[in-house]
Structure 1
Amino acid sequence: MKLNRKNILIILLLLAGIGIFAAFAMNRKAPTQYYTAKVDHGDIRQVVDATGTINAVTTVQVGSQVSGTISKLFADFNSHVKKGQVVAQIDPSLLEGTLSQTQADLENARANLAASHANTEKAKATATQTKADYERNLALTKEGVVSQQALDLAKANADSAQAQVSAAQAQEVQARAQVAQTNLNYTTIHAPIDGTVVARNVDVGQTVAASLQAPTLFTIAQDLTKMQVYAKTDESDVGQIRSGQRVTFKVDAYPRDTFSGKVSQVRMNSTVVQNVVTYDTIVDFDNPDLKLFPGMTAYVTIPVASAPNVIKIPNGALRYKP
Structure 2
Amino acid sequence: MKVQQIKRLWPFAAAILIVAGGAFWWMAGSVRAPRYVTAQVGRGSVVRSVTATGTVNPVIVVQVGTYDSGPIIGIYADFNSPVKAGQLIAKIDPRPFTVKVHEAQAALGNSQSQLAKDQADRAYKKLLFDRDSKLMAENIISQDTLDNARSSYQQAASQVALDGSMVKQQKANLEEAQVNLDYTNIISPVDGTVVSRNVDVGQTVAASFQTPTLFLIAKDLTQMQVDTNVSESDIGDLRDGQIADFGVDAFPDRVFEGTVGQVRQVPISIQNVTTYDVVVNVPNPEFLLKPGMTANVTIISARRDNVLRIPIQAIQFSPTFAKGKSANPLTAREKQVWIADGSAIKPVSIVTGLDDGHYVEVMSGGLKQGDLVVTAELRSGDTSPTASLAGSSSPLRLAH
TM-score interval (norm. to shorter): 0.7 to 0.9
C-alpha contact 1:82 1:193 (8 A) present in aligned 2: yes
Q: For residue 48 of structure 1, what is the aligned residue in structure 2?
A: 50
Q: For residue 106 of structure 2, what is the aligned residue in structure 1?
A: 104
For 1:312 and 1:88, locate their aligned partners in 2 and report how far apart those are by CA, in whole Å: 64
Q: TM-score, normalised by structure 2?
A: 0.66
Q: For residue 244 of structure 1, what is the aligned residue in structure 2?
A: 241
Q: For residue 25 of structure 2, what is the aligned residue in structure 1?
A: none
Which consecutive residues of structure 1, in runs of 5 or more, have no partner in the other structure?
1-35
Q: For residue 169 of structure 1, what is the aligned residue in structure 2?
A: 166
Please tell me whether residue 198 in structure 1 is matched to residue 185 in structure 2: no
For 2:294 and 2:267, locate their aligned partners in 1 and report how far apart those are by CA, in whole Å: 20
Q: Secondary structure at the match of 2:114?
A: helix
1:38/1:295 CA distance change after superposition, 3 Å: farther
More helix by share: 1
For 1:48 and 1:163, locate their aligned partners in 2 and report how far apart those are by CA, in whole Å: 76
Q: For residue 128 of structure 1, what is the aligned residue in structure 2?
A: 130
Please tell me whether residue 273 in structure 1 is matched to residue 270 in structure 2: yes
Q: Secondary structure at the match of 1:147?
A: helix
Moved more, 306-315 or 101-110: 306-315
Moved more, 233-242 or 42-51: 42-51
1:69/1:114 CA distance change after superposition, 3 Å: same
For 2:144 and 2:217, locate their aligned partners in 1 and report how far apart those are by CA, in whole Å: 76
CA drift at 1:101: 1.1
Q: Secondary structure at the match of 2:77?
A: coil
CA drift at 1:311: 3.1
For 1:118 and 1:228, locate their aligned partners in 2 and report how far apart those are by CA, in whole Å: 68
CA drift at 1:207: 1.6
The count of aligned residue pairs is 281
For 1:306 and 1:133, locate their aligned partners in 2 and report how far apart those are by CA, in whole Å: 104
Relative contact order, higher structure (CA 8 A, sep 6+): 1
- Equivalent position amino acid for 1:241 in 2: L
Q: 2:80 aligns with which of 55, 58, 78?
A: 78
Matches within 5 A, 1:12-31: none
For 1:319 and 1:61, locate their aligned partners in 2 and report how far apart those are by CA, in whole Å: 63
For 1:126 and 1:319, locate their aligned partners in 2 and report how far apart those are by CA, in whole Å: 123
- Equivalent position amino acid for 2:75 in 1: L
Which consecutive residues of structure 2, in runs of 5 or more, have no partner in the other structure?
1-35, 314-356, 359-374, 379-400
Please tell me whether residue 210 in structure 1 is matched to residue 207 in structure 2: yes
- Equivalent position amino acid for 1:71 in 2: I
For 1:306 and 1:292, locate their aligned partners in 2 and report how far apart those are by CA, in whole Å: 28
C-alpha contact 1:39 1:313 (8 A) present in aligned 2: no
For 1:243 and 1:182, locate their aligned partners in 2 and report how far apart those are by CA, in whole Å: 44
CA drift at 1:37: 7.4
Q: Percent identity?
A: 41
C-alpha contact 1:269 1:279 (8 A) present in aligned 2: yes
Q: TM-score, normalised by structure 1?
A: 0.81
C-alpha contact 2:223 2:281 (8 A) present in aligned 1: yes
For 2:376 and 2:139, locate their aligned partners in 1 and report how far apart those are by CA, in whole Å: 125
Q: Secondary structure at the match of 1:311?
A: strand
C-alpha contact 2:37 2:377 (8 A) present in aligned 1: no
1:223/1:319 CA distance change after superposition, 3 Å: farther
Q: For residue 89 of structure 2, what is the aligned residue in structure 1?
A: 87
